[in-house]
Amino acid sequence: MGAVHSVHSASLSRASTIVSENPATGEAIGEVPDQPAEEVRAAIARAREAQRAWAAVPLAERCQRIERFAEVLMARADEVIELVVREAGKTPIEALATEVVVVADLTRYFCKHAPAVLAPEPIPLHLLKHRASYLHYVPRGVIGIIAPWNFPFSIPIGEVVMSLIAGNGVVLKPSEITPLIALKARELYLAAELPPDLFQVVTGRGAAGVALIDGGIDYCVFTGSVATGRKVAAACGERLIPCTLELGGKAPAVVCADADLDRAAQAIVWGGFANSGQVCASVERVYAVASIHDQLVDKIVAHARALRQGDAAVSEVDVGAMTWDRQVDNVERLVDAAVAHGAQVALGGKRSPGPGLFFQPTVLTSCRQDMDVMRKEIFGPVIPIMSVADEEEAIRHANDSHLGLLAYVFTRDRARGKALAERIAAGTVMINDVLHTYGCPETPWSGVKSSGIGRTHSAHGLRDLCETRHVNYDRIAIPREVWWYPYRNTTFQTALRVARLLFGKRFWKR
Ligand code: NAD
């Protein structure tokens, strides 16, 4: 195992504190408490109290006040970027683009559009014209957000901002691997002069997440692994708390014979190695049609070989550190097993010597669908490539997975691309591009199959953070409805005739 493995895992063995470490160096950079259940419950109670007043603030005013958070974030972006680099091992460009800008843009976007998205929605009734309905959106109360470590700022804070705009209070339980970034986010929130108790951060390991669900929240937004997601779903089910689950991915990239191979290769390299491959949307398997397979592999290897890897805090690099030592072990296991079963290492294939958590950007060829590297989430800088006879075989393999978060299709034929995309079971399919729709606040982020339930982002995601309530009212006042008491046989006969007229065989078809 070696010294590298002590990063993060050693610190997790201590009892009541969690030491956060720089994954590129192994140095301790801060310490947070592992908060017990009673502190989690107290945080929920404070958020609930503050939420009552917040829900009474008109939506437009809430949006106006939350915009201040984007201003503070951009003014203090350097602090966030520096911490993301040090605590998560990312490069500054990734920290800026995928953490800071994503949240600033999402904040501005929803502050502008939430009043329209959450406006009452009329439902004209097709039969009972003397009545009408509408939906209105009511804050749920306190949203519990449980977050992973791979996007420690943008994932939870995007969800925090949307929850607050919707009129909720929030208690966030960040990952124990990256707690300092969540605390920094709260510092910015306070600097934006938003109600202090409305947004709380509780730090801790899994037990703090259990306590959060147990502590009386009204909705849970969970992002993390499938295994934990199942436990969260069960705990929420037990308490009848609705939840959104954003879980693992195994995104396939289908490269058609007519693809622009230069673009496809660059996209796959970025999609496989950005954030050291620790992205739920990472390109996790490539299906290349045989006629272009060798050419594509050459281009992928050439682009990947040019990548510079290292501690992004001290030098200009393309690929930073991995964030969690167990994840490096996982990647090593999957690569070694693939090689033992016949995969060829076209590039990389090994963990880098310490200090720090680094696995070489790796390209594997001769992969087969039955290998774990093609079936299990890798969550590291590894691109396994498989040659397929044609697009039909590629689509069949793409769908042969228990996961369905993202998928990618590369082709020059836009119509064919859409037709293929629609046949892949994934929450999002991108054509000729990878990853970036997480940065589009207007598009939904969601998985099918074991990749999750519900969605974040988009108008749908914002409405999910509210209770959708239905009001039905009279447009025209009439003394009574025909179906009320008393029940008369004559009413029954008339109702039957009318019902047959309305729902039976159309008279022109008789
Ligand atoms: P994880 O499931 O180990 O942990 C996620 C969070 O759950 C952490 O805060 C953890 O402390 C907490 N937790 C652990 N046990 C819990 C329990 N029993 N009850 C409640 N909370 C508990 O996941 P991770 O390793 O932090 O994140 C990596 C995983 O997240 C990958 O599978 C990745 O694909 C997935 N992910 C998905 C998305 C998405 O949008 N679908 C985004 C990012 C990451």
Catalytic member of 220, 243, 256, 280: 280
Instruction: Count the Cβ atoms, other than its own, within 10 Å of residue 448.
Output: 15
pTM recorded for the entire structure: 0.96
Whether the CB-CB separation of 397 and 412 falls below 8 Å is answered with: no
175 and 232 inside one domain: yes
224 lines ligand 1 (CB under 6 A): yes
438 lines ligand 1 (CB under 6 A): no
228 lines ligand 1 (CB under 6 A): yes
333 and 272 inside one domain: yes
Nearest alpha carbon to residue 318 among 328, 308, 304, 305: 308
Given the DSSP bridges, would you call strands 362-365 and 199-201 parallel, antiparallel or unpaired?
A: unpaired
186 lines ligand 1 (CB under 6 A): no
Nearest C-alpha to atom 10 of ligand 1 is from which residue?
A: 206
**DSSP calls for 452-489:** EES-BSHHHHHHHTEEEEEEEEESS--S--TTSSSP-H
Q: Which atom of ligand 1 lies nearest, measured to the CA of 246?
A: 41
32 lines ligand 1 (CB under 6 A): no
Residue 487 maps to a domain: no
Residue 503 maps to a domain: no
208 and 347 inside one domain: no
Residue 509's pLDDT is 81
Residue 502 maps to a domain: no
CA distance 407 to 424: 7
Mark whether 280 is an active-site residue: yes
Tell me the CATH number at 182: 3.40.605.10
Residue 1's pLDDT is 29
127 and 100 inside one domain: yes
CA distance 297 to 304: 10
Reduce the secondary structure of 301-350 to three states and give it as a string: HHHHHCCCECCCCCCCCCECCCCCHHHHHHHHHHHHHHHHCCCEEEECCC
Q: Probe ligand 1: pick from 20, 40, 150, 324, max atoms within 8 Å of CB?
A: 150
Residue 507's pLDDT is 77
Residue 12's pLDDT is 47
Residue 6's pLDDT is 38
310 and 262 inside one domain: yes
- What is the chain's pLDDT, residue by residue, as a tens digit (510 residues)? 233 333 444 344 445 999 999 999 999 999 999 999 999 999 999 999 999 999 999 999 999 999 999 999 999 999 999 999 999 999 999 999 999 999 999 999 999 999 999 999 999 999 999 999 999 999 999 999 999 999 999 999 999 999 999 999 999 999 999 999 999 999 999 999 999 999 999 999 999 999 999 999 999 999 999 999 999 999 999 999 999 999 999 999 999 999 999 999 999 999 999 999 999 999 999 999 999 999 999 999 999 999 999 999 999 999 999 999 999 999 999 999 999 999 999 999 999 987 899 999 999 999 999 999 999 999 999 999 999 999 999 999 999 999 999 999 999 999 999 999 999 999 999 999 999 999 999 999 999 999 999 999 999 999 999 999 999 999 999 999 999 999 999 999 999 999 999 999 987 887
150 lines ligand 1 (CB under 6 A): yes
378 and 310 inside one domain: yes
Task: Using alpha carbons, list the distances in angstroms from residue 258 to 233, 292, 390, 409.
Answer: 43, 8, 11, 11
Residue 257 maps to a domain: yes
35 and 99 inside one domain: yes
399 and 421 inside one domain: yes
Tell me the CATH number at 427: 3.40.309.10
248 lines ligand 1 (CB under 6 A): yes
Q: How many whole angstroms from 65 Cα to the centroid of ligand 1?
A: 31
Residue 413 maps to a domain: yes
Catalytic member of 21, 87, 159, 246: 246
Q: Which atom of ligand 1 lies nearest, measured to the CA of 151?
A: 43
Q: Which atom of ligand 1 lies nearest, measured to the CA of 248?
A: 34
144 lines ligand 1 (CB under 6 A): no
125 and 224 inside one domain: yes
Nearest alpha carbon to residue 18 among 156, 143, 173: 173
Residue 115's pLDDT is 98
400 and 310 inside one domain: yes
Nearest C-alpha to atom 40 of ligand 1 is from which residue?
A: 246
Residue 510 maps to a domain: no
Mark whether 377 is an active-site residue: no
429 and 363 inside one domain: yes
Task: Count up the domains in the chain and report the number.
Answer: 2
88 lines ligand 1 (CB under 6 A): no
Which residues does 495 contact at the CB level (< 8 Å), separation at least 6? 482, 483
Residue 506's pLDDT is 86
Nearest alpha carbon to residue 113 among 144, 69, 67: 67
Q: Determine the structural domain holding residue 210 and report its residue range.
A: 9-247+456-468
444 lines ligand 1 (CB under 6 A): no
Residue 447 maps to a domain: no
Q: How many whole angstroms from 95 Cα to the centroid of ligand 1?
A: 20
118 and 133 inside one domain: yes
CA distance 430 to 405: 11
Q: Probe ligand 1: pick from 280, 330, 406, max atoms within 8 Å of CB?
A: 280
Q: Probe ligand 1: pick from 228, 283, 401, 455, max atoms within 8 Å of CB?
A: 228
